[in-house]
C-alpha cells in the first residue's frame, strides 16, 4: 500500500461524492421555484440508495470475478465480503484491482461514480416524476444497468476493455452515455411537462445553478484525476486537461450564444463548462493539452447545437441531459480515438490524429454503440415496468402545485421568516 | 387621510425615498413587483430557447399621509421618478377610512 496514492484516492472519492450535491444545485436552480426541493431530493437520495445497492451487490457485479465472456462479475464480493481492510496487518493488498491502494479504497471511489450516474438522469424527468418511482428506478438501474456496463469497461476481464479494447478513462461510456441513453428513454416514456413549448418554463435561480456548476467542476478533478488510481503523472495529466477542456468549452459556448443571440449568458457558461468536463472525461488519461483545447471547443459547439434535438424530435428533456451528457459523452469517447497518444498512456494506441490510423477510433465507436444500445433498451424496459407497477408520473394537480408541496410537504421559499 | 400608491422603476427607489423623507414623510412601504403597461417587455434566452417576457420589474411604494402633505408627496414622486421615457410608472391616491398604530392604539391622523 502506497500512502500517497491512498491519500489522493480517498480525497478523490470525497471530491466525486461532492459532485452529486453539485449536480443537485446545478439542476435545482434550473427548475421553477415550486419544484426546487423535488429536484434536489432526486439527486440527494441517490447518495442513500446507491450506497446500499453498491455495497450489497453493485460492486461485486461490476468488479467480482468474471462469470464468463466479460459480461458480468460474480458474487464473490457480495456484501463486500473479502473487501474489508485487515486492520491487524495495517493494510490490504490490492488483490482485486492490482493497484497500489487497498481494494476498499477503489470500491468506495467507484461507489461515488455509481451514485452520480443515475442522479444525472434526474434532469431529464425534472418537474413531473413521482419520488417513489424514481427511488425504485435508480436502485434497480444501479444494479442492472450501471454495474454491468462498469464491468464491461473497467473490470480487467470486461469484454469492452479486454476484447474490444476501447478505452474510457473516467466514464464517457459508463457514466455519461449510460445516463444520457437512460434519460432519453425516460423522457420518451414519461412525456412532456404541462405547458412544454406553450408557456415559458424558466430557471428560478441561476445563482444556484452556477454554484452547482462550480461544485461539479471542483469535484471533477477527483473524478478524472482519481481515475489514475494514484498520485502519479497520469493524475497530473488528467487534472490539467480537465481544467483546459472545461474552460475552453465554457468560453466556446459563450461565443456561440454571442453569435446567435447577441448576449452571452451565465447559464450558457455553466452549461458549456459541464459539457467540456463531460467530453474530456473518457479522454483525460490519454490525451495531451492541445487535444484538450480541441475537445473543449468541440464540446462547447456541438453540445450547444445539440440543444435543438429536443425541439426537432419534440421530446421534453427538461434540463438537456441528452444534449450535454449523451452527446458530450459520445463526442468525448470518439475524440479519444482521434487524439489519444501512447506516449501519454502506453495502454492506448495512437489515435487518428497522431498517426495511429482509425483502429482506436473504431474501437471507441463500438463501445459507444454498445453502451448506448444496452442502456437505452434496458432502461426503457425497466421504466415501463416501474410505470406499470407504481406509475412514473405525478397527477396533473400535483404537477401544477409543484413537487415541493405535492411530494415532500416542504417549501423551498416560504414567504415569511 | 390618503394612501398613495406609486409604481416606479426599481432604480429610482433610493432617490424617491430620500426626497420623500426630506419632504417630511415619516414612513413608507416598498415591495418588488412585476407588471405590464405600455412599456414593452424583453426576450430572455435560456440554452437557446427564447422566451418573450412581457412582465417588467417595478417597485410599488405605499405612503399613508394626512391630506396636508399629499400635494408635496405627489409632486416629489413625480419629480424624482420621472425620466421621460416609457415605463416611469403611475401614482394612485386612495381615500383612507382609518389608520391604527398597533403599538399604542392611536387612531386617525395621530397614527399616520
Q: Give the pLDDT of residue A89.
A: 59
**Position A40 pLDDT exceeds 90:** yes
A271 at the B interface (CB within 8 A)? yes
Q: Assign residue B105 the CATH number of its domain.
A: 3.30.70.120
Nearest-5° Cα angle at A16, A14 to A21: 95
- For B48, the closest of A202, A203, A308 (CB atoms) is A308
Q: Residue A178 and residue A175: Cα distance in Å, rounded?
A: 5
Q: Which bin fits A237, alpha (ψ -120 to 50), beta or left (φ > 0)?
A: alpha
Q: Residue A143 and residue B31: Cα distance in Å, rounded?
A: 51
A309 at the B interface (CB within 8 A)? no
Backbone phi and psi for residue A279, each to the nearest 5 degrees, phi listed first: -65, -35
Instruction: Please provide the average confidence, as pLDDT, over all residues in chain A.
Output: 95
Q: Give the pLDDT of residue A96.
A: 81
Confidence of residue A307 (pLDDT cuts 50, 70, 90): very high
User: What burial letters (b/e) apply to B38-74, b meaning 16+ CB within 10 Å?
Assistant: ebeeeebbbbbbeeeeeebebbbbebbbeeebeeebb
Q: Give the pLDDT of residue A90.
A: 55
Q: Give the pLDDT of residue A180.
A: 98
Closest chain A residue to the Cα of B43, Cα to Cα: A261
Determine the straight-line distance between the first and last CA of chain B, rounded to whole angstroms.
8
Interface pTM (ipTM) of the complex? 0.81
Closest chain B residue to the Cα of A324, Cα to Cα: B47
Residues near B85 by Cβ (< 8 Å), separated by ≥ 6? none
- For A267, the closest of B46, B52, B53 (CB atoms) is B46
Q: Give the pLDDT of residue A290.
A: 98
| B66 Cα to chain A: minimum distance (Å) | 30
B53 at the A interface (CB within 8 A)? yes
Cβ-Cβ contacts under 8 Å, A202 against chain B: 44, 46, 51
CATH number for the domain formed by residue range(s) A3-80+94-408: 1.10.3430.10
Of A224 and A95, the one with more pLDDT: A224
If one counts the domains in chain B, the total is: 1
pLDDT more than 70, % of chain A? 97
A320 at the B interface (CB within 8 A)? yes
A268 at the B interface (CB within 8 A)? yes
User: In the block, which residue shows the cell 462550480?
Assistant: A214
**Position A87 pLDDT exceeds 70:** no
Nearest to A105 by CA among A236, A13, A216, A25: A13
A residues 222-261 closer than 8 Å to B (CB): 257, 260-261
**Position A288 pLDDT exceeds 90:** yes
Residues near A375 by Cβ (< 8 Å), separated by ≥ 6? A145, A149, A177, A178, A179, A181, A182, A185
Structural domain that includes position B14: 2-111
Give the number of beta-carbon pairs within 8 Å between A and B. 27
B44 at the A interface (CB within 8 A)? yes
B46 at the A interface (CB within 8 A)? yes
- For B51, the closest of A200, A257, A307 (CB atoms) is A200
A205 at the B interface (CB within 8 A)? no
Sign of CA dihedral A11, A183, A154, A347: negative
**Position A416 pLDDT exceeds 70:** no
Residues near A395 by Cβ (< 8 Å), separated by ≥ 6? none
Substitution target in B32, B47, B55 with the highest count of A β-carbons within 10 Å is B47
pLDDT more than 90, % of chain A? 91
Least confident interval from A39-43, A278-282, A298-302, B35-39: B35-39
**Position A92 pLDDT exceeds 60:** no
Q: Residue A108 and residue A102: Cα distance in Å, rounded?
A: 10
Nearest-5° Cα angle at B8, B6 to B12: 125
| Burial label, A233 (beta-carbon count in 10 A; 0-12, 13-18, 19+) | exposed
Least confident interval from A5-9, A137-141, A237-241, B106-110: B106-110
- For A307, the closest of B44, B47, B50 (CB atoms) is B47
Task: Convert the pLDDT of each residue in A314-339 to its tens digit.
Answer: 999 999 999 999 999 999 999 999 99
Q: Give the pLDDT of residue A277.
A: 98
Cβ-Cβ contacts under 8 Å, B47 against chain A: 267-268, 271, 307, 320
Q: Give the pLDDT of residue A98.
A: 82
Cα B66 to chain center, whole Å? 17
Nearest to A323 by CA among A339, A334, A312, A337: A312
Contact call for residues A273 and A250 (beta carbons, < 8 A): yes
Residue-level pLDDT, tens digit, chain B, 112 residues: 999 999 999 999 999 999 999 999 999 999 999 999 888 888 888 998 888 888 899 999 999 999 999 999 999 999 999 999 999 999 999 999 999 999 999 999 898 8
User: What burial letters (b/e) apply to A377-397, b meaning 16+ CB within 10 Å?
Assistant: ebbbebbeebbeeeebbbeee
Q: Give the pLDDT of residue A317.
A: 97
Sketch the domain layout of chain A as residue ranges: 3-80+94-408
B45 at the A interface (CB within 8 A)? yes
Cross-chain residue pair A304–B46, CB shorter than 8 Å = no
Amino acid at each position: 500500500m502506497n500512502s500517497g496514492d491512498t491519500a489522493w484516492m480517498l480525497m478523490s472519492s470525497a471530491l466525486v461524492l461532492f459532485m452529486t450535491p453539485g449536480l443537485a444545485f446545478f439542476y435545482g436552480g434550473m427548475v421553477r421555484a415550486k419544484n426546487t426541493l423535488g429536484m434536489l431530493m432526486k439527486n440527494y437520495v441517490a447518495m442513500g440508495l446507491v450506497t446500499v445497492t453498491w455495497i450489497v451487490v453493485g460492486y461485486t457485479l461490476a468488479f467480482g470475478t468474471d462469470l464468463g465472456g466479460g459480461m458480468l462479475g460474480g458474487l464473490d464480493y457480495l456484501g463486500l465480503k473479502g473487501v474489508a481492510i485487515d486492520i491487524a496487518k495495517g493494510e490490504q493488498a490490492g488483490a482485486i484491482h492490482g493497484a497500489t491502494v487497498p481494494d476498499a479504497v477503489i470500491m468506495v471511489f467507484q461507489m461515488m461514480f455509481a451514485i452520480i450516474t443515475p442522479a444525472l438522469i434526474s434532469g431529464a424527468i425534472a418537474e413531473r416524476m413521482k419520488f417513489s418511482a424514481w427511488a425504485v428506478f435508480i436502485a434497480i438501474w444501479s444494479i442492472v444497468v450501471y454495474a454491468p456496463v462498469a464491468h464491461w469497461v473497467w473490470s480487467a476481464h470486461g469484454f469492452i476493455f479486454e476484447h474490444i479494447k476501447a478505452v474510457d478513462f473516467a466514464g464517457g461510456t459508463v457514466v455519461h452515455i449510460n445516463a444520457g441513453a437512460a434519460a432519453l428513454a425516460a423522457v420518451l416514456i414519461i412525456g412532456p411537462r404541462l405547458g412544454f413549448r406553450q408557456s415559458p418554463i424558466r430557471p428560478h435561480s441561476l445563482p444556484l445553478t452556477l454554484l452547482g456548476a462550480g461544485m461539479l467542476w471542483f469535484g471533477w478533478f477527483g473524478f478524472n484525476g482519481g481515475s489514475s488510481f494514484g498520485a502519479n503523472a497520469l493524475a497530473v495529466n488528467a487534472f490539467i486537461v480537465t481544467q483546459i477542456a472545461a474552460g475552453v468549452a465554457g468560453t466556446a459556448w459563450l461565443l456561440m450564444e454571442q453569435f446567435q443571440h447577441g448576449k452571452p449568458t451565465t447559464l450558457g457558461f455553466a452549461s458549456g463548462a459541464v459539457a467540456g468536463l463531460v467530453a474530456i472525461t473518457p479522454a483525460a488519461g490519454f490525451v495531451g493539452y492541445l487535444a484538450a483545447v480541441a475537445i473543449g471547443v468541440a464540446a462547447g459547439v456541438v453540445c450547444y447545437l445539440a440543444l435543438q434535438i429536443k425541439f426537432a424530435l419534440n421530446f421534453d428533456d427538461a434540463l438537456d441531459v441528452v444534449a450535454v451528457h449523451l452527446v458530450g459523452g459520445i463526442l468525448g469517447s470518439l475524440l479519444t480515438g482521434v487524439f489519444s497518444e501512447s506516449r501519454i498512456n502506453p495502454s492506448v494506441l495512437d489515435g487518428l490524429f497522431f498517426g495511429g490510423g482509425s483502429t482506436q477510433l473504431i474501437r471507441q465507436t463500438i463501445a459507444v454503440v454498445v453502451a448506448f444500445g444496452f442502456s437505452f433498451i434496458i432502461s426503457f424496459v425497466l421504466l415501463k415496468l416501474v410505470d406499470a407497477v407504481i406509475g412514473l408520473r405525478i397527477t396533473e394537480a400535483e404537477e401544477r402545485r409543484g413537487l415541493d408541496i405535492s411530494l415532500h410537504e416542504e417549501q423551498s421559499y416560504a414567504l415569511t421568516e | 387621510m390618503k394612501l398613495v400608491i406609486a409604481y416606479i422603476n426599481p432604480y429610482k427607489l433610493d432617490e424617491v425615498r430620500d426626497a420623500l423623507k426630506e419632504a417630511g414623510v415619516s414612513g413608507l412601504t416598498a415591495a418588488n413587483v412585476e407588471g405590464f403597461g405600455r412599456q414593452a417587455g424583453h426576450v430572455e434566452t435560456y440554452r437557446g430557447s427564447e422566451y418573450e417576457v412581457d412582465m417588467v420589474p417595478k417597485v410599488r411604494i405605499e405612503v399613508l399621509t394626512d391630506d396636508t402633505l399629499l400635494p408635496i408627496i405627489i409632486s416629489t414622486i413625480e419629480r424624482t421618478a420621472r425620466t421621460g421615457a416609457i415605463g416611469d410608472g403611475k401614482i394612485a391616491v386612495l381615500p383612507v377610512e382609518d389608520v391604527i398604530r398597533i403599538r399604542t392604539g392611536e387612531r386617525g391622523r395621530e397614527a399616520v
